[in-house]
Amino acid sequence: MRVLTHHNRRKGGRQRDRARLRHTPEATWHRWQREYGGIETHDAKRFDALQKENARLKTMVADQALDRGT
């Protein structure tokens, strides 16, 4: 996320050049930009934390459903 913030502040240059400077595949760069392009770094970190928490909770619910089924 810091990568996007740093390069979004920079004027000019091509997307391909920016990705190459960071040794990041261009497809990954575009995916990051699509996901996090419009939000600040701290918001993106919070978003990631919420996604991880959501995945953890889904796993717990699935495990409980399996326990009830047996």
Q: Which domain holds residue 47?
A: 2-69
Query: Please, where are the H alpha helices in the chain?
Result: 2-9, 15-21, 26-36, 41-69
Provide the pLDDT confidence category of residue 57 given band limits of 50, 70 and 90.
very high
Assess contact for 62 and 22: CB atoms under 8 A.
no
Total tally of structural domains belonging to the chain: 1
CA distances, 9 to each of 5, 15, 34 (Å): 6, 13, 17
Q: Is the pLDDT of residue 6 over 60?
A: no
Predicted pLDDT of residue 12: 56
Q: Is the pLDDT of residue 4 over 90?
A: no
Across the chain, mean pLDDT equals 78
Q: What is the pTM of this model?
A: 0.50
pLDDT over 70, % of the chain: 67
C-alpha radius of gyration, the chain, whole number: 18
Distance separating alpha carbons of residues 55 and 45, to the nearest angstrom: 16
Report residue 17 as tokens: 């050049």
